[in-house]
Amino acid sequence: MVLAGPNSNQTHTCSPGRTVRSPECCKWFHILDDIQANLLENECGPESHESLRIIFHDAIGFSKTGLFNGSFAGGGADGSIMINADVELNYIAEENAGLDEMIYEQRDFAVKHSVSFGDFIHFAGAVGVSNCMGGPRLQFLAGRANISRPAPDYMIPAPFHSADQIFARMEDAGFSPEEVAQLMAAHSVGAQHLIDPTVNNAPLDSTPEDFDAQFFVETLLEGTEPVGNGTALGERSSPIPGEFRLQSDIVLARDIRSACEWQSFITDQDAMIEKFQRVMAKLSTLGQDTDKLTDCSEVIPVPSRVNRLATLPPGKSRGDVQAACSATPFPAIPTTPGPVTSLPPVRHKYPHH
């Protein structure tokens, strides 16, 4: 895929210290300041996590064939989850459960600044993940139309799906098993909402405010007990107290089609970031003609770097690792010293989540 380039090499000054290559991008600096102060709070918190999640849920309503179960397959990264929220947030599959508050709050900002819902979704997600230590600086292209049809139900892979089901749905949208593993880096700053209401906001790895490779280590550890009651569909036993484990993460980490890509990120965070940037650029332009969009990536903040290497959590050893890549041995990584402790839930401003 060829990413859209800037409109010209000329620089336009938006305000002191802020320049862009297209004057159309200047308005996004005003939006950036507003959402950082009043939506995302300049931090890698739940609002940033949810904004990144919304990108996927908006864009994955797409099929290379244009059809899903014989009907319209959705327009991809077009803002339909916000434009048609009354439809997509109430589907039987419930894969969009927990997104309603953030989507409606984001919609108010999009209306306030007179930008399309599709553009705002993909801008807010890129800004949100830039707040995370070590995070990627995602591409942001503006110019999506504010017109869409609802994406159909059952297009979003579920946490209880098998690897075959996930890969089939993602291949239909144009993604390989390796690219699926690359997209899962988003879970390094994730938490679960509503899968198991008894432990809402339980993080998916031990460093939920850092965009790092720790997630790819911990998903390969043998589970010992569930964080919640263990009966929720899609929940599996976790290796760390307080950490939630998705069945989908377990199967993708151990499937022969994605296991080596998964394991490779443990010792190469730079590759993890680079590949995540590339696959997110693909995801966020599904269904769009990039020649008609404007590259406003300069507006996205540059994330702070993190140099911490992935480790085995306290109390864990190589014997707890369920390595699944037959081509490459599991890398030798250190164990973090200290006692085993339970992870706190991720803070969330919506109390019923």
Count of domains observed in the chain: 2
Tokens standing for residue 313? 């959590």
| Domain assignment present for 10 | no
Residues 203 and 224 in one domain: yes
Residues 176 and 231 in one domain: yes
CATH classification at residue 227:
1.10.420.10
| Domain assignment present for 328 | no
| Domain assignment present for 135 | yes
| Domain assignment present for 13 | no
Q: Among the options 57, 161, 187, 353, which is catalytic?
A: 57
Residues 316 and 194 in one domain: yes
Residues 53 and 110 in one domain: yes
CA separation for the pair 162, 34 (Å, rounded): 41
What burial class does residue 103 get, using C-beta atoms within 10 Å of its C-beta: 0-12 exposed, 13-18 middle, 19+ buried? buried
Residues 80 and 209 in one domain: no
Cα within 13 Å of Cα(56), Cβ side? 22
Encode pLDDT of 219-249 as tens digits. 999 999 999 888 899 999 999 999 999 999 9
**Helices 117-130 and 26-38, axial angle in degrees (round to 10):** 60
In terms of C-beta distances under 8 Å and separation of at least 24 residues, what long-range contacts does 108-113 make, across chains too? 109/31, 109/34, 109/35, 109/38, 109/39, 110/82, 112/34, 113/27, 113/30, 113/31, 113/34
CA separation for the pair 279, 276 (Å, rounded): 5
**Chain position carrying tokens 């144009």:** 174
Alpha-carbon torsion 335, 336, 337, 340, what sign? negative
Residues 246 and 295 in one domain: no
| Domain assignment present for 238 | yes
pTM: 0.94
pLDDT greater than 90 at residue 349: no
Number of Cβ within 10 Å of residue 330's Cβ equals: 15
Q: What HEC string does the chain produce?
A: CCCCCCCCCCCEEEECCEEECCHHHHHHHHHHHHHHHHCCCCCCCHHHHHHHHHHHHHHCCCCCCCEECCEECCCCCCCHHHHCHHHHCCCCCCCCCCCHHHHHHHHHHHHHHCCCHHHHHHHHHHHHHHCCECCCCCCCEECCCCCCCCCCCCCCCCCCCCHHHHHHHHHHCCCCHHHHHHHHHHHHHCECCCCCHHHCCCECCCCCCECCCHHHHHCCECCCECCCCCCCCCEECECCCCCCEEHHHHHHHHCCCCHHHHHHHHHCHHHHHHHHHHHHHHHCCCCCCHHHCEECHHHCCCCCCCCCCCCECCCCCHHHECCCCCCCCCCCCCECCCCCCCCCCCCCCCCCC
Range of the domain at 131: 20-156+279-299
Query: What confidence category does residue 5 fall into, taking pLDDT thresholds of 50, 70 and 90?
Result: very low
Is-contact 323 329, C-beta < 8 A? yes
| Domain assignment present for 5 | no
Residues 147 and 293 in one domain: yes
**Chain position carrying tokens 């739940």:** 46
Residues 136 and 76 in one domain: yes
pLDDT for the residue numbered 316:
96
Mean pLDDT of 122-140: 97
Tokens standing for residue 212? 């790092």
CA separation for the pair 79, 145 (Å, rounded): 9
pLDDT for the residue numbered 4:
43
pLDDT for the residue numbered 340:
87
| Domain assignment present for 351 | no
Q: Residue 193 catalytic?
A: no
Q: In terms of residues, how long is the chain?
A: 353
Is-contact 290 76, C-beta < 8 A? no
Is-contact 335 236, C-beta < 8 A? no
pLDDT for the residue numbered 252:
98
| Domain assignment present for 345 | no
Residues 78 and 116 in one domain: yes
CATH classification at residue 60:
1.10.520.10
CA separation for the pair 256, 325 (Å, rounded): 7
**Chain position carrying tokens 């070590």:** 134
Residues 40 and 105 in one domain: yes
CA separation for the pair 353, 350 (Å, rounded): 6
Residues 168 and 82 in one domain: no
Encode pLDDT of 256-305 as tens digits. 999 999 999 999 999 999 999 999 999 999 999 999 999 999 999 999 98
Residues 143 and 210 in one domain: no
pLDDT for the residue numbered 229:
84
Mean pLDDT of 53-74: 94
Q: What is the mean pLDDT of the chain?
A: 93
